[in-house]
Amino acid sequence: MSTLSSPILYFDNRSPPVRSVLLVINYLNIPVEYKLIDLFKVEHLKEEFLKINPFHTVPCLKHNELLLTDSHAILMYLCDFYGKGSLLEIKTEKDRALIMNFLMFNATILFEREKIIMRKIFVTGSKEVDPKEVDAVEEAVDYLNKILGESEFVAGNQVSIADLSIVASFSTINLVLTFLEEKYQNVSKWFKKMKQLPCYEKGNQEGLNALQEVMDNICQGELKLKSKSEM
């Protein structure tokens, strides 16, 4: 193991991509220096943070001279650097390809579609969810449900960083689209297994609870799915 100093993580645990990184950090017990960037106080747009990450996004990981600004890249790096000998270790090129495939599924499909709904709530204060946006999320979850009908976890029968990435996204949209667990049984079984991981409470649930609190303050119990006749 290198004698590099501990990584620095710029974070707000209410963010799903941040929580995916916190999951792997807690899974592997990685020593990390944490620097809070409060998104709801717009601290990500402060000059001192923009000098570190001009894209003003979290998570952002600095490890000596290395700077990573995408959660999926951070997951892969931490897994490769700290995961040797653990269940998260990626042992074959085939495994790596499958894991990368599902990391990209999260990055470009599930999280992107979820983000449209969540931003309307948290940025504009909208209390209505567009059914077209729900359909787009459901298409992604339906695909995930089919994959999880063939294996225990998304990239095979062993938990991987792809599961940690996807569960952070799924658990977030599940706050709004609460019917997903009942409708997609394979996803529901997988989600229950993920919640049993020792890393889940600190890595994901704490931030999810904090996000739920903000959402409740915005929506005041009035969040609803807009009917197609209203469009």
**Domain harbouring 100, CATH code:** 1.20.1050.10
Find the CATH number of the domain harbouring 40. Answer: 3.40.30.10
Answer whether 0.75 is exceeded by the pTM.
yes
Q: Per-residue pLDDT tens for 117-151?
A: 999 999 999 999 999 999 999 999 999 999 999 99
Same domain, 178 and 215: yes
Q: How many CB atoms lie within 10 A of CB 48?
A: 7
Choice among 15, 20, 169, 171 that is catalytic: 15
Q: Please tell me the distance from the alpha carbon of residue 175 to that of residue 126, in angstroms, as a whole number.
A: 15
What pLDDT, on the 0 to 100 scale, is given for residue 231? Answer: 44
Q: Burial code of 132-159, b = ≥16 C-beta within 10 A, e = fewer? A: ebbebbbebbeebbebbeeeebbbbeeb
Q: How many CB atoms lie within 10 A of CB 93?
A: 8
Same domain, 144 and 173: yes
Same domain, 76 and 97: no
Give the CA count within 13 Å in the CB-facing half-sphere of 202.
9
Decide if 15 is catalytic.
yes
Q: Per-residue pLDDT tens for 58-106?
A: 999 999 999 999 999 999 999 999 999 999 999 999 999 999 999 999 9
Q: Please tell me the distance from the alpha carbon of residue 116 to that of residue 120, in angstroms, as a whole number.
A: 7
Residues 6+ apart with CB under 8 A from 98: 155, 156, 162
Same domain, 98 and 203: yes
Q: Which residues share a beta bridge with 68?
A: 61
Same domain, 101 and 189: yes
